[in-house]
Amino acid sequence: MKKDLTPNKGVKNTDKNALENIKQQAKELKNEVNVKATEFKEESKQAFEIVKEKMNETFSEENIDKVKEKLDEYTDDAKDVLEDVSEKASELASDAVENLADFAEDAKEELEQATKKTKGFFKRLFGK
């Protein structure tokens, strides 16, 4: 018994139709990918141009000069603040030295009084 190995025509036509459908879908997908890639390319160019303009605007001579002016102003302000702080620190140091001298003098007087009282206490205690 010999079998016929040739496929029947119905299976052949179905395979051809499926293959044609796959080819058609692949072409449509390819076209859609090309369209999206082109759109992406254009949007990327636009974004790059916008960034380029903003960078040029940011680093323009005029803006750099403005930044320099502001830095000069802040530097002057910082110098003024530093001078004020130095002046206040000197005043505080002078006051501290003066108060420390007064404190030392008061402490010396208190120590002398405490010494006299202690001597008097021991004299009374030991009767000498």
Quickly list H helices, the chain: 9-58, 61-126
Least confident of 2-11, 99-108, 109-118: 2-11
d(CA 87, CA 81): 10
Q: Where along the chain do its domains lie?
A: 12-59, 66-128
pLDDT digits (tens, 9 = 90+) for 54-70: 888 877 888 788 888 88
Quote the pLDDT of residue 10: 58
**Could you tell me the pLDDT band of residue 113, with boundaries at 50, 70 and 90?**
very high
d(CA 90, CA 92): 5
128: pLDDT strictly greater than 70 = no
